[in-house]
Amino acid sequence: MRQNTELKTTFFITAVAVSARLGFVLKEAKNISLEAMNAKALVARAGENVRTFKPITDYMVELANDTIRLVDDINREALGISKASLIALRGNEAVNHFNGAKQKAGNAIYRDSFEPALRSAEKDLHSYQQNLLRNVRRLNELLEEIESRMLAANVVTSTSRLEAATVSKLYRANFEAIVAKFEQAAKNIRAIVRECRKVLNSK
Amino acid sequence: MQTVKLFECATHEWIVFGRDPDKGEKIVDTNQYLIKTAREAVLLDPGGIELFSSMLASVVHYLPVEQITHLFASHQDPDIISSLGLWDKTLPHATLHAPWIWEGFLRHYGCNNITYKPIADEGGTFKMDGIELDFIPAHYMHSSGNFSVYDPVSKILFSGDVGGGLNGADDPLFVEDFDKHIKQIKTFHQRWMPSERAKQAWLNRVRKLDIDLLCPQHGAIYQGKDIERFLDWLEDLEVGTALRLS
């Protein structure tokens, strides 16, 4: 049991590490949002010529907003993990202290009298660990959601590139630049999220 | 951990636990006291979290843990009561008697099940299974909310930090050579006790008591003539003077 608990009580550090990395995701999501606004303005200016770009810009805005919302959810979950992890850590320490006492008590006449406290501490620890695992699972799911959205963004980028190639020369360079920035931001987010998942699942 | 029965009569016993060999080298040595009646018991200054397993292992030589119905914390320091969170799991139905000013602070150690019974500044009497213990105000000796405990039957005064010192784990549990001992505790009193007025107030209260054993939370226990010698020494010692700033 001891080895098991060691594996699962250090998440308060992991959660903080994940949370810190999410700052970059947020920054990239805001970049996407900004590029989407630029694209929208350009679409309005270019008029009929680039109307096929409109759903793409709408998608970019939606993607940016969803990512920002997901980052909020992840931060909340990470905070929950941090708290759950510390509770589990304290629970683990309590069990260790009781086990230490059991060992030191030797043949003390009332040695068994704190057995219920030890059992209760072990039961609490198990419950803390279950909560922690639930939180970690949920965090993984949220990170996975961002990653799958960024994969979808790849498809949109390809479509956008094709669309950009068809618009008049006057706007083409601008649209291509927006698509490139969108692509880069999505790529960056995917890399950060992958790193977060790696950190989360490393221990 | 050394355990010595200090007193025994028909109604209750006093037992001291100290000189834990398992404690870390840099952790200050502490004395914990157990007062046990036929049905209940109180732990005085149950000790720091690092000491918990040794303490628990030691007390079960004398009673089943559920018999410990009360805890007492003379003040808020970690060596006094940072084990509270673990006692809280061990003795969920117990009551903690501690200075009222420290309630919000002591709860940081974890006190979800134990009932906190605040002691008013004036002190008071605590009754347990037919015995009575007096909470004697010892404010600023050294903590700003601080109590000693006096048992009029055994004539034992638990003096908290007063009379204590930063003794080594191998030092005797009782004062053997007063002159040698007093040298070891001088700086402790000059530095840890901040107020001459508070010192005098405590001495005035304590000198009215009939004391057979003066039991500090650190260091060695005073008995016989050494008690009066210690009180006289403390009266003459100017406290709040050991700060040396460069």
ipTM here = 0.92
Question: What pLDDT is attached to residue A8?
Answer: 52
Q: Which residues pair with B118 in a beta bridge?
A: B98
CB B194 within 8 A of CB B238: no
Residue B242 lies in a domain: no
Mean pLDDT per 10-residue interval, chain A, length 203 residues: 48 80 88 87 83 84 89 88 87 95 96 96 92 88 91 88 84 88 90 88 70
> DSSP string spanning A27-41?
HHHHHHHHHHHHHHH
Which residue range is the domain that position B87 belongs to? 2-236
CB of A117 less than 8 A from some CB of B: yes
| Residues 6+ positions from A176 with CB-CB distance below 8 Å | A161, A164
Residue B245 lies in a domain: no
Give the distance from residue A67's alpha carbon to the nearest chain B alpha carbon, in angstroms. Answer: 38
Which amino acid is it at B112?
N
Run of H or E residues at A60: helix A54-105
Contact A117 B61 (CB under 8 A): no
- The span from the CA of A155 to the CA of B54, in Å, is 64
- The span from the CA of A67 to the CA of A31, in Å, is 11
> Is the peptide bond preceding residue B142 cis, with omega within 30 degrees of 0?
yes
Q: Which residues of chain B have pLDDT under 50?
A: none
Instruction: Write out chain B in H/E/C secondary structure.
Output: CEEEEEEECCCCEEEEEECCCCCCCCCCCCCEEEEECCCCEEEECCCCHHHHHHHHHHHCCCCCHHHEEEEECCCCCHHHHCCHHHHHHHCCCCEEEEEHHHHHHHHHHCCCCCEEEEECCCCEEEEECCEEEEEEECCCCCCCCCEEEEECCCCEEEEECCCCCCCCCCCCCECCCHHHHHHHHHHHHHHHCCCHHHHHHHHHHHHCCCCCEEEECCCCEEECHHHHHHHHHHHHCCCCCCCCCC
Q: Which residues pair with B18 in a beta bridge?
A: B2
- Report the SS3 class of residue A107: coil
Question: What pLDDT is attached to residue A69?
Answer: 92
- The span from the CA of A164 to the CA of A158, in Å, is 10
- The span from the CA of B32 to the CA of B16, in Å, is 6
| Tally of domains in chain A | 1
Contact A113 B66 (CB under 8 A): yes
Question: What pLDDT is attached to residue B225?
Answer: 97
Question: What pLDDT is attached to residue A46?
Answer: 83
With tokens 């309005």, the residue in question is: A44
| Residues 6+ positions from B239 with CB-CB distance below 8 Å | B189, B190, B193, B194, B195, B196, B199
CB of A109 less than 8 A from some CB of B: yes
Return residues 91-150 of B near A (CB < 8 Å).
Answer: 110
CB count in 10 Å sphere of residue B80: 27
Residue B201 lies in a domain: yes
Question: What pLDDT is attached to residue A7?
Answer: 41
Q: What is the DSSP letter of A106?
A: T
Q: What is the pLDDT of residues B198-227, one digit of tens each?
A: 999 999 999 999 999 999 999 999 999 999
Residue B166 lies in a domain: yes
Question: What pLDDT is attached to residue A23?
Answer: 86
Which residue range is the domain that position A162 belongs to? 2-201
- The span from the CA of B122 to the CA of B204, in Å, is 14
Contact B57 A97 (CB under 8 A): no
CATH number at residue B70: 3.60.15.10
- The span from the CA of A38 to the CA of B75, in Å, is 64
Question: What pLDDT is attached to residue B234?
Answer: 98
| Tally of domains in chain B | 1
CB of B86 less than 8 A from some CB of A: yes
CB B30 within 8 A of CB B46: no
